[in-house]
Amino acid sequence: MDQPLILLATIIMLLPLLGAITAGLFGHRIGRNATHCITVSLVAMAFVLSMYLVKVMLLDAHPAIEGTLYTWATAGSVQFDVALLLDRLSTVMLFVVLFISLAVHIYTIGYMADDPGYQRFFSYVSLFTFAMLVLVLANNFLLLFFGWEGVGLVSYLLIGFWFNKESANQGSLKAFLVNRVGDIGFLLAIAAVLMFFGTLNYHAVFTQVPQVVSRSLALFPNYDVPVIALICFLLFIGAMGKSAQVPLHVWLPESMEGPTPISALIHAATMVTAGIYMVARMSPLFEYAPAVLSMILVIGGTTAFFLGLVALVQFDIKRVIAYSTISQLGYMAVALGASAYDAAIFHLMTHAFFKALLFLSAGSVIIAMHHEQDMRKMGGLAVHLPVTYLTFVIGGLALSAIPPFSGFFSKDAIIDAVHLSTLPGAHYAYYCVLFGAFITPLYTFRALFLTFHTRSRVEAKLRGHIHESPWVILIPLVALAIPSVFMGQMLIGPMLFAQPSLLGDSVFVLPEHNVLAQMARSYVGASKMALDAGMHLTFWFAMAGIVMAWMFIAAHPQWTEVLKRRFHWVYALLVRKFGFDDFNHTVFVKGTVELGDVCYEVSDVKLIDGVCVNGSGQAIGWLARTVRYVQTGYLYHYALSMVIGVLVFLLWFIWG
């Protein structure tokens, strides 16, 4: 670890861990104020230090560097290192994670002020930050998996933070298990990489791709699959779990049982985008697996459109945003499938800011409403919560891709990119994301109107008590609102169309897949793009969404009822969330328990123990009882048996 930059990255990574340990072990001794002072200042310190890395890596274009902290294990010729990679992609992620984490840390001071688990919460959030930094800084698959599972664990702990609530415990368990299903894929992918590349180091793996690209593996006799495709397929299963792609998205809505700050940090801005980050990081592999890219296009498109629809019928304000997160993750996946990795990371960044903003604004509303989350019991809150309202509007406009807000640039780039992609499935994905552009503002502004406009439906006992949140909550909102407005405009050029782009050689695209290069030819600059938005279909789709939301929610709420009755089967389908939960519950949860019961009751208890074990015990007992009858004690019985015995031997001797 001779390079000072790696040392700096290590320090940045360990600062939140230090905070987590302090808050976790000594939180009760040092008290609430000391706890939040320590954790917040440590994360702030990490953030400030990361700014220096941003300068060096992104502005001064320092080449990527690696450094080993220690050797974790060895096995034969393989060596597993705990080692970091600092390049453009990891620096970008570092910045995003620490920015949002800092905002959330500060916000938490206000949001969790009355909670008895205050110190525990800070400990978890700092621990999460550490794990996320490990994930983005790793230079090998093993450390990536460490971070990957680490964020999964903290997510589990935080969803179940209020462990007195049955729904929270249910949601956390579900989140962990569904993620683990994805992790099976991820772990097998790692095993495949190890087998065929002999190393887990990214760089060493990527440079060997040309040698491995022609190899295949027999999954069944006479059925070979290309190794790279298999690895990418398995990796994407992992990404589907973490980044909530259909059908492994089922855990994310229920993760909303956790406190709102972590919904913003973990379940919107950072952890759920880990899958997207991972695929972008592995782009040198995915580029050689066009079949898997097609699969990503189809799954991403499906997620983007159909899960967006579900958000239309939700009444819990956090669940609306949760489904919107799933849908936006679908957009990012589509970008990955179209080989527009830069665009995926771009949307990941803008989304991180405006979605965290939306969640934290929603949290501000929830605090004001004394933990009421049902939008049917809100309405007309704009006058009471002016700052929150403003930030929610900014977040909503950014999410709806209205120019010049940041979401416009990133989402538009994705829609254009997938339009240019020639892979099978790209057409389907294109229509999905295109119509998604109409659905997104529809559910966003439905939530906005239901919450802030319309006639107040607030319960009488709460009416007089609604007031704007304290400054510790508002400052993070403002801090997130600013990038949500300007970031897209500032970064679209450098991220997507500059040569080299902001991510530079951190991602790899084959020339024949390079849709962004095609788009670059017609790129005219960010402000022109915003001004020309009216020439594009997507803009009018978005506007139509907002107008529809206004008409159906604010202007003529009775129309909604008509629509509901007219299309009641669609409505039922959406309310049931396409039946994923019912299916999983019936088939997987109950099925597993039934199977376990059968294995236990029938096979273990009856067959092995009942028949074999106790049976042989009884058989010996029976044998002993039977043999006992021979021992009569009469001399003539013994004499008779002796004579018979001698006779039998004699006959055997004669004939044998």
Position 606, amino acid = K
Is residue 216 a contact point for another protein (CB under 8 A)? yes
**Beta-carbon contacts of residue 243 (< 8 Å; ≥ 6 apart):** 272, 273, 274, 275, 276, 329, 332, 333
Residue 130 or 539: the one with the smaller Cβ distance to another protein is: 130
- How far does the chain reach from its first CA to its final CA, in angstroms? 86
Position 516, amino acid = L
Q: At its nearest, how many Å lie between another protein and the CB of residue 224?
A: 8
State which of positions 151-170 bind another protein (CB under 8 A). 153, 156, 160, 163-164, 166, 169
State which of positions 125-144 bind another protein (CB under 8 A). 142
Is residue 188 a contact point for another protein (CB under 8 A)? yes
**Beta-carbon contacts of residue 337 (< 8 Å; ≥ 6 apart):** 293, 294, 295, 296, 297, 298, 300, 418, 421, 423, 425, 426, 429
Angle formed at CA 85 by CA 84 and CA 91, multiple of 5 degrees: 115
Ranges of H-type helices in 465-590: 471-492, 515-521, 526-531, 537-549, 557-566, 568-575, 580-583
Give the closest residue to 105 by CA, choosing from 51, 189, 174, 41. Answer: 41
State which of positions 62-91 bind another protein (CB under 8 A). 70-78
**Which one of 184-192, 292-300, 438-446, 532-540 is the stretch in contact with another protein (CB under 8 A)?**
184-192
Residue 515 tokens, joined: 């849709």
Residue 212 or 570: the one with the smaller Cβ distance to another protein is: 212
Q: At its nearest, how many Å lie between another protein and the CB of residue 67?
A: 18
Q: Which residue among 95, 99, 128, 145 contacts another protein (CB under 8 A)?
A: 145
In angstroms and rounded to an integer, the radius of gyration of the C-alpha atoms of the chain is: 31
Is residue 517 a contact point for another protein (CB under 8 A)? no
Is the alpha carbon torsion for 585, 588, 589, 590 positive or negative? positive
Residue 53 or 142: the one with the smaller Cβ distance to another protein is: 142
Give the closest residue to 106 by CA, choosing from 484, 394, 466, 469. Answer: 469
Q: At its nearest, how many Å lie between another protein and the CB of residue 325?
A: 24
**Which one of 4-12, 173-181, 318-326, 410-418 is the stretch in contact with another protein (CB under 8 A)?**
173-181
Q: Which residue among 14, 49, 56, 173 contacts another protein (CB under 8 A)?
A: 173
Q: What does residue 68 show for φ and ψ, rounded to 5 degrees?
A: -95, 130
Residue 248 or 349: the one with the smaller Cβ distance to another protein is: 248
Q: Which residue among 48, 204, 611, 612 contacts another protein (CB under 8 A)?
A: 612
Q: Which residue among 30, 58, 69, 181 contacts another protein (CB under 8 A)?
A: 181
Residue 418 tokens, joined: 């997938």
Residue 16 tokens, joined: 């939140």
CA separation for the pair 409, 431 (Å, rounded): 18
Is residue 602 a contact point for another protein (CB under 8 A)? no
Position 346, amino acid = F
Q: Which residue among 45, 190, 269, 447 contacts another protein (CB under 8 A)?
A: 190
Q: At its nearest, how many Å lie between another protein and the CB of residue 15?
A: 18
Site residue total, another protein (CB under 8 A): 54
Q: Which residue among 374, 512, 561, 609 contacts another protein (CB under 8 A)?
A: 609
Q: Which residue among 32, 62, 180, 419 contacts another protein (CB under 8 A)?
A: 180
Residue 218 or 630: the one with the smaller Cβ distance to another protein is: 218
Would you give the DSSP letter of residue 140? B
Q: At its nearest, how many Å lie between another protein and the CB of residue 142?
A: 8
**Which one of 465-473, 479-487, 544-552, 593-601 is the stretch in contact with another protein (CB under 8 A)?**
593-601
Is residue 204 a contact point for another protein (CB under 8 A)? no
Q: Which residue among 33, 211, 592, 618 contacts another protein (CB under 8 A)?
A: 592
Residue 175 or 415: the one with the smaller Cβ distance to another protein is: 175
The H or E element spanning position 537 is helix 537-549
Instruction: Tell me the CA distances in angstroms from 330 to 301, 428, 475, one per residue in order.
Output: 6, 13, 30
Instruction: Tell me the CA distances in angstroms from 442 to 313, 320, 348, 492, one per residue in order.
Output: 11, 11, 21, 25
Position 61, amino acid = A
Residue 172 or 328: the one with the smaller Cβ distance to another protein is: 172
Residues that bind another protein (CB under 8 A): 70-78, 142, 145-146, 149-150, 153, 156, 160, 163-164, 166, 169, 173, 176-177, 180-181, 183-184, 187-188, 190-192, 194-196, 215-219, 592-593, 595-597, 599-600, 603-604, 608-609, 612-613
